[in-house]
Each structure stands twice: as structure tokens, then as C-alpha cells.
């Protein structure tokens, strides 16, 4: 292959299978491949107000519905474009806007608790960035204090914040982990996420029984004994 040739513009080279641009994008989408840890955003992403974004999305979604052949004069459908637009901006994709990032208050570890703290079964709802259909899952977080502790509810809110954007599960895991490490000032953070992807369950392969598990282990959690201790806690029956 010549140095200036790309994978996407070569159809066949010996026994190598290559793709056109459209095929490559479809392949990435079907295999849920991410391109970066940071959510891809354009410059000026927040120049428009929420109200302006809602108005623009409303018009576009109305055009989508009309293209599909739906009758928007029907009482049940005529409010849908605005409802969807508000849901996108104010709810399910609100985590795109840094202004919605939860404030994190830290406290001195006055009781000198030096073991791991585990917050498990944090429910979240996200959306696959490749097909814009739901990802439903649970996150399990742990950290070891280096002198500061975080309020328990803030762990849930951090998960929610990063989940409320078009996501790939690997990126979601890394974003939560890196944010916790930064806020707590420690590498000693562990995360396991177990999620069901409706882009797998409701389309494509249509497998309704599988789930996807991702993990992150930093600092002391790279030690096998610490890692095993964390995973044992996740097996405890703690539902009330």
C-alpha cells in the first residue's frame, strides 16, 4: 500500500479486506467503536442557548417525522417534535453542556477510614452515539481516600452527568474514572459498568440477552488482592 493511500479508498489489495468510507463508518457503528476518550464536540458548541437549540431540533425532527409519512396534524403527534427537542436538550443529552456538571464537595476524612469505599448498583440511562438508542446499565464505583472523601450522592450524579450524552461504554467508563481521580486527588479508583445496549437488542443482531461489561482499575486497585476484594463486594446481596 502506498504511503498516501488510506484504508477507506482501497477496495482490494491481495488478501486484505478494505472498506469504502460509508462501509467503514457502518462497520465502526455496528461494532460500537469509539475514537476518543473525550466526547467529540465542535468549536462553539454552546454558542446557542438551550431555547435556540430546541427550536432548531424541533424543525429537524418534524421534517424526519414527515419524511417517514406521519400525519403531524394528529393530536397525538403534533406536539412530538417539540417534546423530542426538549428531551434531547434538557434531559437525555444534558450532560453535553459543562454548565450542567454537578459540583463536587469534598470533606476531610476525619474518621480516618482508610479502606475502600464502594458505591454499587448506580442505575443510569445513556444513548449509543452510533444509533441514538438507549443504553441501560449499572455502575459500581470504588475509591480509597487519601485524606478527602466525597458525598455519596455525588458519585451517582457524576455517573448521571457523563451518561447523559451520546456515549460509547468504554468512553463512559474512562470519563467517570478520570473525573473521580481528578476530584479526589488520587489514582486509587475502580469502576465496573454492566449495561444492556438496545442497539444490539432491538436492531442488527437483535440479541436481547447479552450485556456489556467494562472496567477501570487505577492505583492500588491494580493490585490483584484489592481488585478481588472490590469484585467480591459486588457479589454481595445488598438489595433492600
SS3 letters for 138-152? Answer: EEEEEEECCCEEECH
State residue 201's pLDDT score.
Answer: 74
State residue 203's pLDDT score.
Answer: 77
State residue 35's pLDDT score.
Answer: 66
Beta strands in the chain, from DSSP E residues, in sequence order: 12-13, 16-17, 106-108, 116-128, 134-144, 148-150, 166-167, 189-197, 212-217
Q: Are residues 139 and 222 in the same domain?
A: yes
Q: Are residues 71 and 138 in the same domain?
A: no
Residue 117 lies in a domain: yes
Cα(181)–Cα(193) distance, integer angstroms: 17
Domain count, the chain: 2
State residue 21's pLDDT score.
Answer: 59
State residue 8's pLDDT score.
Answer: 42
Q: Are residues 78 and 123 in the same domain?
A: no
Residue 62 lies in a domain: yes
Q: Are residues 77 and 178 in the same domain?
A: no
Q: Are residues 147 and 228 in the same domain?
A: yes
State residue 10's pLDDT score.
Answer: 39
Cα(67)–Cα(45) distance, integer angstroms: 27
Q: Are residues 222 and 171 in the same domain?
A: yes
Q: Are strands 166-167 and 116-128 parallel, antiparallel or unpaired?
A: parallel
Residue 40 lies in a domain: no
Grid coordinates 433492600 are at which residue? 240
C-alpha cell at 211: 450485556
Structural domain boundaries enclosing 109: 100-235
> Domain of 81: which CATH number?
1.10.286.10
C-alpha cell at 173: 467508563
Last-in-domain residue among 39, 59, 92:
92
Helices (H), 75-166: 80-86, 152-163
Catalytic residues: 128-131, 169, 197, 199
Q: Are residues 196 and 229 in the same domain?
A: yes
Last-in-domain residue among 40, 61, 92:
92
Largest CA distance in the chain: 66
Residue 83 lies in a domain: yes
Q: Are residues 80 and 150 in the same domain?
A: no
Q: Are residues 63 and 178 in the same domain?
A: no
pLDDT, tens digit, 9 for 90 and up, residues 138-178: 999 999 999 999 999 999 999 999 999 999 999 999 999 99
Last-in-domain residue among 38, 61, 92:
92
Q: Are residues 137 and 195 in the same domain?
A: yes
Residue 15 lies in a domain: no
Cα(221)–Cα(223) distance, integer angstroms: 5
> How many residues are recorded in the chain?
240
Residue 9 lies in a domain: no
pTM: 0.84
State residue 208's pLDDT score.
Answer: 81
Q: Are residues 132 and 222 in the same domain?
A: yes
Cα(17)–Cα(10) distance, integer angstroms: 9
Q: Are residues 178 and 229 in the same domain?
A: yes
Q: For the chain, 240 residues long, give each residue's pLDDT as a single digit of tens.
A: 344 434 444 344 455 555 455 655 565 555 556 567 899 999 999 999 999 999 999 999 999 999 999 999 999 999 999 999 999 999 999 999 999 999 998 999 988 899 999 999 999 999 999 999 999 999 999 999 999 999 999 999 999 999 999 999 999 999 999 999 999 999 999 999 999 999 887 777 777 878 999 999 999 999 999 999 999 999 998 766
Residue 177 lies in a domain: yes
> Domain of 210: which CATH number?
3.30.1130.10
Q: Is 235 exposed, middle or buried (0-12, 13-18, 19+ CB in 10 A)?
A: exposed
Amino acid at each position: 500500500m502506498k504511503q498516501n493511500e488510506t484504508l477507506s479508498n482501497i477496495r482490494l489489495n491481495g488478501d486484505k479486506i478494505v472498506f469504502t468510507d460509508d462501509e467503514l463508518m457502518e462497520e465502526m457503528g455496528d461494532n460500537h467503536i469509539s475514537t476518543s476518550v473525550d466526547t467529540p464536540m465542535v468549536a462553539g458548541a454552546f454558542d446557542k442557548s438551550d431555547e435556540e437549540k430546541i427550536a432548531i431540533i424541533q424543525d429537524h425532527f418534524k421534517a424526519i417525522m414527515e419524511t417517514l409519512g406521519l400525519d403531524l396534524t394528529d393530536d397525538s403527534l403534533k406536539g412530538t417534535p417539540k417534546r423530542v427537542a426538549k428531551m434531547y436538550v434538557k434531559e437525555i443529552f444534558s450532560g453535553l453542556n459543562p454548565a450542567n456538571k454537578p459540583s463536587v464537595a469534598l470533606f476531610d476524612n476525619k474518621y480516618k477510614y482508610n479502606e475502600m469505599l464502594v458505591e454499587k448498583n448506580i442505575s443510569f440511562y445513556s444513548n449509543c452515539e452510533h444509533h441514538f438508542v438507549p443504553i441501560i446499565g449499572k455502575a459500581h464505583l470504588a475509591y480509597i481516600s487519601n485524606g478527602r472523601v466525597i458525598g455519596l450522592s455525588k458519585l451517582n450524579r457524576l455517573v448521571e452527568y457523563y451518561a447523559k450524552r451520546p456515549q460509547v461504554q468504554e468512553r463512559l467508563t474512562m470519563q467517570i474514572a478520570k473525573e473521580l481521580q481528578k476530584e479526589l486527588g488520587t489514582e486509587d479508583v475502580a469502576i465496573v459498568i454492566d449495561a444492556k445496549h438496545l442497539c444490539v437488542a432491538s436492531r442488527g443482531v437483535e440479541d436481547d440477552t447479552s450485556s456489556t461489561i467494562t472496567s477501570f482499575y487505577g492505583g492500588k486497585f491494580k493490585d490483584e488482592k484489592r481488585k478481588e476484594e472490590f469484585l467480591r463486594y459486588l457479589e454481595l446481596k445488598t438489595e433492600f
